[in-house]
Amino acid sequence: MGPPGVGKGTQSQRLSGEYGIPIVATGDMFRKIRQDVSPLAREVQEYMDRGEYVPDDLTIEMALSRLNEPDTKKGFILDGFPRTVRQAEALDDALAQDDRHIDHVVLLTAPNEMVLERLAGRWVCSTCGRVYNESSNPPRLPGVCDVCGGKLVQRADETPEVQRHRLEVYEHQTAPLITYYQGTKRLEVLDATKSVDEVTNELRALLNGVVKERA
């Protein structure tokens, strides 16, 4: 969890490779859907371009059906889901029915000015979705993805006004989720103002603790 631009996608991508588990990123799933030509695609596009959340029913159905796919059975990293208390409750219920549960919820924190600055410099691979930053996390060759050689682009939902609105939406709709997870004692708070490598190291330490506990 954490505000847009704090580094959720960046850290998920690093850990997914290390732990050999998939990332379920609802933002990426919606970005695929919006490319279709259909009433659903248009609806999703309108919410995203306004910086609003896509309605819970649609989001929950999409995320839970992805979590039924076999590659998630040995574990998964959720990025950007759940974002509302209703989504979190639906997730807990669905996983419990399947005898699964969320081990850890990590909240990445950084001040608003910092996340806005990070978003302004964000570039994403148009082929594989790898995230870069023109100053803090640049690709080896400008405009080219290190991983797959794809072209780097900036996201369509990225104007400064929309970014600021997305932060407000986060504070209104997602911040209450912090209390939900604190109540279930699953929340870890990490200071994400540190470098990408430092945040990865802290996440790794936290997750290795979990893996040892379960062994």
Contacting ligand ADP (CB under 6 A), which of 2, 51, 82, 129? 2
8 scored as a contact of ligand ADP (CB under 6 A): yes
**CA triplet 173, 178, 183: central angle to 5 degrees?**
130
Question: Closest approach of Cβ 80 to ligand ADP, in Å?
Answer: 7
Which two structure tokens, joined as six digits, stand for 200? 């990865």
Partner whose footprint covers residue 166, from ligand AMP, ligand ADP, none (CB < 5 to 8 Å by kind): ligand AMP
**C-alpha to C-alpha distance for 74 and 180, rounded to whole angstroms:** 25
Q: Cα–chain-centroid distance for residue 35? A: 20
**C-alpha to C-alpha distance for 85 and 107, rounded to whole angstroms:** 15
Q: Tokens 């309605």 appear where?
A: 55
Question: Closest approach of Cβ 5 to ligand AMP, in Å?
Answer: 8
Partner whose footprint covers residue 200, from ligand AMP, ligand ADP, none (CB < 5 to 8 Å by kind): none
Contacting ligand ADP (CB under 6 A), which of 44, 63, 192, 203? 192
Examine the residue annotation and report whether 155 is marked as an active-site residue of this protein: yes
Chain residues in the site for ligand AMP (CB under 6 A):
4, 26-27, 30, 47-48, 51-54, 59, 80-83, 87, 166
Which two structure tokens, joined as six digits, stand for 128? 């594989």
Examine the residue annotation and report whether 118 is marked as an active-site residue of this protein: no
Q: Which helix (H) or strand (E) holds 88?
A: helix 85-97
DSSP state of 52: P
Contacting ligand ADP (CB under 6 A), which of 22, 75, 121, 150? 121
Nearest to 52 by CA among 200, 180, 166, 201: 166
31 scored as a contact of ligand ADP (CB under 6 A): no
Binding site for ligand ADP (CB under 6 A): 2, 4-10, 118-119, 121-122, 131-133, 136-137, 192, 194-196, 199
